[in-house]
């Protein structure tokens, strides 16, 4: 194996790219970027989130998030509402009616995911997901023990 093949961050990027080839056409069909999709999916699952929560969930840096949310608001994909508890805080929600679009994208993504799983093997994908979750859990435990 060459040193490039042993480079785990690069391998993770290659696997991500391989997977995203299955989903990008779906997002393109709906005129969505990957970042916009991650935000819509997070909001669909959680209903209402603060921008900083979206940053954490969607792995998007705060300066980028501000611009993405602004564009999404202009496209009527999301709406920003003041917090009822603290008017200085802003909450983000899916724009009314966008949920049906998200459901359709989720259905198409599930079909694409199933096709990808059949190509490379469902067990391999299950193992990959389990291993990635284990790494994240281990890191969270380490960080928690340092606090």
Residues 91-144: pLDDT tens digits?
999 999 999 999 999 999 999 999 999 999 999 999 999 999 999 999 999 998
**What confidence score (pLDDT) does residue 69 get?**
98
Q: Which helix (H) or strand (E) holds 49?
A: strand 48-49
CB 20 within 8 A of CB 109: no
Structural domain contains residue 61 = yes
**What confidence score (pLDDT) does residue 6 get?**
75
State which residues form the domain around 51: 15-96
pLDDT in tens, 33-52: 999 999 999 999 999 999 99
Structural domain contains residue 106 = no
| Rounded Cα distance, 95 and 72, in Å | 9
Residue 18 predicted with pLDDT over 60: yes
Which pTM does this prediction carry?
A: 0.88
Task: Please check whether residues 32 and 86 belong to one and the same domain.
Answer: yes
CATH number at residue 68: 1.10.10.10
Task: Please check whether residues 19 and 88 belong to one and the same domain.
Answer: yes
78-82 β-sheet, strand order: 48-49, 90-94, 78-82
Token pair recorded at residue 118: 């059949």
* Residue of 73, 72, 69, 47 lying closest to 60 (CA atoms): 69
């Amino acid at each position: 194996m060459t040193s490039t093949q042993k480079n785990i961050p690069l391998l993770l990027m290659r696997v991500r790219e391989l997977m995203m080839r299955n989903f990008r056409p779906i997002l393109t069909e709906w005129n969505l970027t990957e970042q916009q999709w991650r935000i819509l999916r997070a909001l669909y699952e959680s209903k209402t989130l603060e921008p900083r929560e979206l940053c954490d969930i969607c792995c998007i840096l705060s300066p980028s998030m501000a611009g993405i949310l602004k564009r999404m608001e202009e496209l009527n994909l999301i709406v920003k509402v003041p917090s009822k508890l603290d008017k200085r805080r802003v909450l983000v929600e899916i724009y009314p009616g966008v949920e049906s679009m998200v459901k359709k994208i989720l259905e198409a993504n599930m079909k694409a995911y199933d096709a990808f799983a059949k190509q490379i093997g469902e067990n391999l994908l299950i193992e990959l997901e389990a291993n990635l979750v284990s790494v994240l859990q281990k890191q969270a435990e380490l960080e928690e023990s340092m606090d």
